[in-house]
Amino acid sequence: MFDVPVVSRRWLPAAIVVTVLCGQFARAEDDEDEEKVDIRPVNAWVTTKDGWKLRLTYYKSPSGKESPVVILLHDRRGNREFWRPFGRALQNNGFAAVAVDLRRHGESIPPDVAGAASGIGPGNVDVRPADLQKMVHEDLETVKAFLLEEHHKEMLNVRKTAIVAIGMSSGVALNFAANDWLKAPHADAPTLAARTPRGQDVRAMALITPEVSQAGLKTFAALKQLRYPAWGVSILVCVGGKHDESLEAATRIHERAAQSRDARQRMVFADFPTRLNGTDLMGRTFRGAVVDDIIIGFLTRHLKVLDPGDGWRDRRSRLTS
């Protein structure tokens, strides 16, 4: 048994570390190879119910309809372009991915701005509590609708959905995941087990330097729900362990999620020997382990490899099909 000083060995499963240190994960190919397999990132616009136009980048999986899918969420004042290297790395490891400019960020356009998108938007402004709530109930629901369309094109399996979020968006991700699991299935069959689900799709989450307390969000309530054994949601928390304030916040998130014995098997804590945090952690190597590879290893173990019962199925209600 070898020593792994990179992360807290109390929390990070040895299987993930072994895989990372042995270099099991594929790197992004060069542009020429990317064109050969036709997985170039595709930019698209989606519109929320309250009228915001959100810009997203879709990284199509080359692996077909059983591909797991990862939603990539930026930090405060960030945008979807940050995720381009990681999105391509996910593709090369058999995942689909979608990165989105949340409202008031990047190229997102509010309802009162007329005309086609031109690369200008209201991004990089202060985010209000109402904005965070809308990111949960409007923005991510719209992203989920986009993924359902791709699911029914047999390009991915929405039942195997994960979210990777940084800083501000961590609370948004947790609240959306809890809401998704609380959705009642379509009433299109006599028994609950036979009904077509409308949610219960977020199976894993990776939170990088998560924020604890955000006005407008019920983060701790969401964590309490997400640790239910029947839901089986797995959560990885990553943080720079030499930054006291960030470490304290991340530890609180992890401890709240891992309160039960069952949950502790699904909740992973990785604190790296650095003061770097947030976006600065991504792409970094600490004593032989790349942060990106640790996240991909976690997603492979807790999302990509799921029970056969989680295979692709039509998600349209029988009442409307």
Considering only 26-30, 66-70, 154-158, which range has the smallest mean pLDDT? 26-30
Does pTM top 0.85 for this prediction?
yes
Considering only 3-12, 33-42, 311-320, which range has the smallest mean pLDDT? 3-12
301 pLDDT tier (thresholds 50, 70, 90): very high
Q: What are the boundaries of each domain within the chain?
A: 14-183+200-306
**Looking at residue 34, what is its pLDDT?**
45
**Looking at residue 119, what is its pLDDT?**
44
Average of pLDDT values for 135-163? 96
**Looking at residue 12, what is its pLDDT?**
52
* 248-283 residue pLDDT tens: 999 999 999 988 888 888 999 999 999 999 999 999
114 pLDDT tier (thresholds 50, 70, 90): low
Across 122-131, 159-168, 255-264, 303-312, which has the greatest mean pLDDT? 159-168
What count of other Cβ atoms lies within 10 Å of the Cβ of residue 269?
22
pLDDT over threshold 50, residue 86: yes
Which residue did the predictor score with more confidence, 118 or 206?
206
pLDDT, mean over the chain = 85
- Residue 163 near residue 178, CB atoms below 8 Å: no
Angle between helices 140-152 and 168-181 (to 10 degrees): 60
**Looking at residue 8, what is its pLDDT?**
44
SS (H, E, C) the chain: CCCCCCCCCCCCCHHHHHHHHCCCCCCCCCHHHHHHCCCCCEEEEEECCCCCEEEEEEECCCCCCCCCEEEEECCCCCCHHHHHHHHHHHHHCCCEEEEECCCCCCCCECCCCCCCCCCCCCCCCCCCHHHHHHHHHHHHHHHHHHHHHHHHCCCCCCCCEEEEEECHHHHHHHHHHHHHHCCCCCCCCCCHHHCCCCCCCEEEEEEECCCCCCCCCCHHHHHHHHCCCCCCCEEEEEEECCCHHHHHHHHHHHHHHCCCHHHHCCEEEEEECCCCCHHHHCCCEECCEEHHHHHHHHHHHHHHCCCHHHCCCCCCCCCCC
Average of pLDDT values for 301-307? 83
Query: How far apart are the C-alpha atoms of 95 and 241, rounded to whole Å?
Result: 29
Which residue did the predictor score with more confidence, 320 or 97?
97
CATH number of 14-183+200-306: 3.40.50.1820
Which residue did the predictor score with more confidence, 200 or 317?
200
The pLDDT > 70 percentage for the chain reads 83
The pLDDT > 90 percentage for the chain reads 64
Counting Cβ atoms within 10 Å, is residue 88 exposed (0-12), middle (13-18) or buried (19+)?
A: buried
Query: How far apart are the C-alpha atoms of 147 and 161, rounded to whole Å?
Result: 9
